[in-house]
Amino acid sequence: MKSQMNAHSSSNAQSPWQQKVQVTAYGFDEAYPKVWLIFEALCLVALLGFLVWSCFIRQPRGDPKKPLPIKAVIASILSYAIARMMNIITLFLGIFKANVQQSYVIVSMLNQIFYLIAVMLGFYVFWKLIQKLLERLAEDKPSKAFAPMAIAHWVLLGVLSVLSAVECALYIAFVVKGINVGERYMKLAYEYNKVSAALSIFCWIASLEAFCWIIFVFVSAAPDRRAGLVSLSVGSFFFFLVNFVLAILQIIYVLEQNMAPDYLDAARTVIEFFCTIGIYAGVLLCFRKWHHVHISPPQKVLEAGGDEGETNEEDCNSSLRSYHSMVYSQQQEQLRYSFPQGAASAQQVHMYMPR
């Protein structure tokens, strides 16, 4: 009895963060966490490949004052790769049912932080590219034509960043209170779910707005200058798709509080894997082909081409008239010296003068 009391007192003296716990995999079917782990690993490998690729991309020489957001893309890829690594560590511990200290939840906190950083940087990259394309589209006053849109984008990015910071703070507070046994934290979990769902819905709407702007620029571009815009359109579509899927999942399983199936996390990771490849491949290919991107409305191109064609045709006709006039004058001079003045043969020679 005394030994039990000592053990109990030593347990009370020990910090909850140092207590040993067994990490268990999510759900009852062990196959789904393994699928989840496999696609997390594949996503990490793809991100590392994109990271190496992005390091070899250089800024175009044409516009040094407004460079492409290459550093932001690198930071986004790196942040997302770190988040995937944290998730892989947690899944490994759960699949093998490892006994670890409670402080392992710091890995989940880092996963949440770096994931949201990657998402915010993704929005920054797309909106930065949209602004550069819109400035090219406005030929007369590129600095003022779409200035309100740029301000709206940065305000929206600020709102998303604030929501992300609030979500991170609530998640960390939720985890910390969950470890400190005895504290009531269900209300905090409810607040976290609301903020997380709101952020997902805002990201869905914002990604749709970015996708629509890129499609608008793509349609406005000259048909033979859409090489870089095709890949950017594909990347923005996958960016919208992944945010759309995450928002729908938040609405169904968080706001409506439906029971999530065991395969949900595995299925979500598969979708995120393909969307991640589409997003970063599209953006990086756009950077590689940026010098081919030429924004000019098709109507203006056709009108300019038509005017130029008409001008060239008039110049050509004028040149032909001048040439025939010169030939006619030379032939008249030759006839005058070849035949005597007043000879019938000279009077019978007729030259065609084009009108």
Distance of CA 137 to the CA centre of its chain: 20
On the question of pLDDT at 299 being above 60, the answer is: no
Residue 171 CB partners (closer than 8 Å, separation 6+): 109, 112, 192, 196
Residue 100 parent element (H or E): strand 99-101
Angle at which helix 227-250 crosses helix 105-137, to 10 degrees, equals: 140
Amino acid (one-letter) located at 146: F
Tokens of 24: 């268990």
Phi, psi of 100 (to 5 degrees): -135, 170
Tokens of 325: 């006039």
Note whether 24 and 100 are within 8 A (CB): no
Domains plus CATH for the chain? Answer: 18-296 (1.20.1070), 302-347 (no CATH)
Q: Rank 17-31, 80-94, 282-296, 332-346 by mean pLDDT and report only the highest.
A: 80-94
**Count of alpha carbons within 13 Å of 235, Cβ hemisphere only?**
24
CA proximity to 253, closest of 197, 201, 198: 197
313-352: per-residue pLDDT in tens? 444 444 445 444 544 444 444 434 333 333 333 333 333 2
The mean pLDDT of 165-187, rounded to a whole number, is 82
User: Whole-angstrom Cα distance, residue 75 to residue 121?
Assistant: 7
Instruction: Tell me the average pLDDT of the chain.
Output: 78
pTM (two decimals)? 0.77
The band of 246, judged by pLDDT with boundaries at 50, 70 and 90, is very high
User: Whole-angstrom Cα distance, residue 54 to residue 288?
Assistant: 10
The band of 144, judged by pLDDT with boundaries at 50, 70 and 90, is low
The mean pLDDT of 194-199, rounded to a whole number, is 95
The band of 1, judged by pLDDT with boundaries at 50, 70 and 90, is very low
Bridge partners, residue 99, by sequence: 22
User: Whole-angstrom Cα distance, residue 280 to residue 234?
Assistant: 10
Amino acid (one-letter) located at 245: V
User: Whole-angstrom Cα distance, residue 191 to residue 123?
Assistant: 25
Amino acid (one-letter) located at 183: E
Residue 267 CB neighbour total at 10 angstroms: 16
Residue 233 DSSP SS3: helix
